[in-house]
Amino acid sequence: MTASRPFRETQIELLKDAGNAALYLEEALAAGDMDAFKLALRNVAEARLGGMSALSERTALNREALYRALSEGGNPTLETLTRVMHALGLRISVAVEEITSAAS
C-alpha cells in the first residue's frame, strides 16, 4: 500500500502544470463564485510562483494590494487580473456561453 500525502501537497504539485492550472481556474470561474475564483488564483500563484511575494514581483503590483484584491471580499480590476494571469503564464479569454431559454 502506498503512503498517502496531504491534499495540499498534491494540489500544489498538480497546479504547477499550466494546463491543470487553467482548468482549475476555468472551473472556479464557471461556478460563479468570485471568492472561490480568487482563492483559486492564490493557490495557482503558490504552486507556479511560490506565493504572493513572487506574484507581486512578476506583476509589479504592491504585495499588500494584491492580498487585498485577491482576498475574500476583494474586488480586483480587470487590469490586475490580466497582470496576475500573465504572471502565471495564463490569459483571460472570452467564449460563447450556451443560454437555455424556457419554452413558451
Residue 99 forms part of a structural domain: no
The confidence score (pLDDT) of residue 47 equals 97
The C-alpha cell of 53 is what? Answer: 511575494
Taking alpha carbons only, the member of 35, 33, 34, 37 closest to residue 90 is 37
Is residue 92 included in any domain, yes or no? no
Total domains in the fold of the chain: 1
Is there a domain that residue 2 lies in?
Answer: no
What pLDDT does residue 100 have?
80
* CA–CA dist 51, 72 (Å, integer): 17
Contact 22, 30 (CB under 8 A): no
pTM for this predicted structure: 0.84
Residue 12, domain member (yes or no) = yes
- pLDDT tens digits, residue range 35-87? 999 999 999 999 999 999 999 999 999 999 999 999 999 999 999 999 999 99
Range of the domain at 48: 7-87
**pLDDT of res. 39:** 95
What are 103's three cell numbers?
419554452
